Structure 1
Amino acid sequence: MSDGFYLDNDVVLKTCSYGAGAELVELSTTGDLAPAILALARFTLRSRVERSRVLVDAQNASAQLDAVLAQVRFLEPTPEEVDIAADFEAAATEANLSFDAGESQLVAMLGARGAVALVSGDKRAAKAMSVVVPELERRLVCLEQVLHSIIARFGLEPLRSSVCREKASDRAVTNCFQCSSQQVEAPSVLQGLESYLRSLRSETGRLLVKSAGMSGAEVAQEDSVGST
Structure 2
Amino acid sequence: MDRDSAIRRFESFLASAVELEPTPDELELASRIEEAAVRAGVELDSGESQLCAIAVLRGPMILLTGDKRAIAGAEKVQGTVNELSALQGKIVCLEQAIAGVSERIGVEEVRARICAEPNADKALSICFQCSSTSPRADSFMEGLVSYVQDLRIKASTLLYAEDQL
Out of 61, 65, 69, the position equivalent to 1:120 is 65
Structure 2 residue corresponding to 1:99, chosen from 30, 41, 44: 44
Q: AA paired with 1:108?
A: A
1:90 aligns with 2:35: yes
* TM-score, length of structure 1 as denominator length: 0.64
Distance 1:61 1:97 in 2: 33
* Whole-angstrom distance in 2 between the partners of 1:176 and 1:163: 10
Alignment counterpart, residue 197 of structure 1, candidates 141, 148, 153: 148
1:210 aligned onto 2:161:
yes
1:141 aligned counterpart, secondary structure: strand
1:14-25 alignment, distance < 5 Å = none
CA distance in 2, matches of 1:149, 1:114: 23
Counterparts of residues 167-206 of structure 1 (less than 5 Å): 167-184=118-135, 186-206=137-157
How far apart are the structure 2 equivalents of 1:59 and 1:125?
Answer: 31
Cα separation, 2, equivalents of 1:81 and 1:150: 31
What value does the CA root-mean-square deviation take over the aligned residues?
Answer: 1.7
Q: For the Cα contact (< 8 Å) 1:85–1:105, is it kept in 2?
A: yes
Partner residue in 2 for 1:71: 16
Aligned: 1:155 with 2:106: yes
Asked if the contact 1:155–1:186 (Cα under 8 Å) also holds between the matched residues in 2, the reply is no
Task: Please state how far the C-alpha of 1:78 moved relative to its aligned partner.
Answer: 0.9
Distance in 2, Cα, partners of 1:62 & 1:123: 26
Equivalents in 1 of 2:151, 2:92: separation in Å?
Answer: 11
Q: Tell me by how many angstroms 1:156 deviates.
A: 2.2
Cα 1:115–1:73 shift into 2, 3 Å:
farther
- Give distance in 2, aligned partners of 1:185 and 1:149: 19
Q: Give 5+ residue unaligned stretches, structure 1.
A: 1-55, 215-228
Please say if 1:139 is aligned against 2:84.
no
Same amino acid, percent of matched pairs: 38
Q: 1:124 to 1:107 in 2, by over 3 A?
A: same
In 2, the alpha carbon distance for the partners of 1:138 and 1:119 equals 12
Q: Secondary structure, in 3 states, of the residue corresponding to 1:119?
A: strand
Match of 1:18 in 2: none
Cα shift at 1:167: 2.5
Segment drifting more, 201-210 vs 175-184: 175-184
Tell me by how many angstroms 1:115 deviates. Answer: 3.3
Name the SS of the counterpart of 1:99 in structure 2. coil
